[in-house]
Amino acid sequence: MLAALEAELSLLLTHLRDAAPCDESPRATRGSLAAQPVVVALTGIGKVAAALTAATLIERHRPRAVLFTGLAGSLSPRLRVGDVVIARRFIQHDLDASPLFPRFEVPLTGLAWFEADPAWSERMFEAAVRAVASLDADARAALAALGAGEPRVSPGNVATGDVFVTSGAARDAVRARVPEADCVEMEGAAVAQVCHARGLPFAACRVISDAADDSAPADFQAFITRVESRVTSAVLLGAFAAPS
């Protein structure tokens, strides 16, 4: 179970039984959820950091699946702040090895889009529906202060790039390059590529924090603590505890 920021994992870590730091990585914790072993790890921000963490932990712990949670900016008018996106597939919007390879295609893979695992995505979707329905009063107050309504859960295509999209012009440029994308973030497609190479199921959940422009919450950390971490922790707990 991976996330880019420490605050995104702090709540989930409180649910681990027999939690202990992994000796080889100070940013990873082993423990158990639903009587099954798990490793919860901080990747850091960006494609390289996420791919490095994922590849290292896969080699050392041999997981049966990799799950990622975090924030994303909306690229779609149907997605509002607080909405939850369960990734359907991933693309690197800033990758261009043309003319040697088609734009967005990862060289030597034949792929531009990497698919999320259907079974784990369904488990995360069902858990997300339960999570938003049971949000506590503080989370709902935080959303109301941002003018957000009742969060909705939907599948979506994720665009990943090594840039934090914070202007309307930058958002529109991503939209123009990848019109199929519903939201934008900085890690998902990189981890999806690693999992594809290792033959592992991968699924991801993203909470919409802004419209990928200058409207991001003034207190980003508060949004993570009061809304996003509560939703994504519940999603991971619910998905992992669901019967296989």
- pLDDT, tens only, 80-98: 999 999 999 999 999 999 9
- Picking from 82, 85, 131, 119, the residue whose alpha carbon sits closest to that of residue 237 is 131
Q: What is the mean pLDDT of residues 183-192?
A: 97
- Picking from 148, 140, 134, 139, the residue whose alpha carbon sits closest to that of residue 216 is 148
- b/e string for 86-119 if b means 16 or more Cβ within 10 A? bbbbbbbbbbeeeeebeebbbeeeeebbbebbee
Cis status, amide bond into 77, omega within 30 of 0: no
pLDDT (tens digit per residue) in 123-143 = 999 999 999 999 999 999 988
Show the tokens assigned to 56.
């290292």
Q: For 194, which DSSP code? A: H
Q: Is-catalytic flag, 138?
A: no
- The span from the CA of 241 to the CA of 33, in Å, is 7
Please give the distance of CA 220 from its chain centroid, rounded to a whole number: 16
- The span from the CA of 232 to the CA of 244, in Å, is 20
For position 218, what pLDDT does the model report?
58
**212-220 CB contacts, 8 Å cutoff, 24+ apart:** 212/73, 212/74, 212/75, 212/165, 212/166, 212/170, 212/171, 212/174, 212/183, 212/184, 213/73, 213/165, 213/166, 213/167, 213/168, 213/170, 213/171, 214/166, 214/167, 214/168, 216/73, 216/166, 217/81, 217/146
CB 51, CB 39: distance < 8 Å:
no
Least confident of 32-36, 133-137, 188-192, 231-235: 32-36
pLDDT (tens digit per residue) in 55-72 = 999 999 999 999 999 999
The class that CATH gives domain 65-241 is alpha beta
- The span from the CA of 224 to the CA of 157, in Å, is 22
Question: Which of 8, 182, 187, 228 does the annotation list as catalytic?
Answer: 8
Q: Is-catalytic flag, 213?
A: no
**Residue 116's pLDDT band (boundaries 50, 70, 90)?**
very high
Question: Which of 83, 182, 210, 228 does the annotation list as catalytic?
Answer: 210
pTM: 0.92
CB 126, CB 84: distance < 8 Å:
no
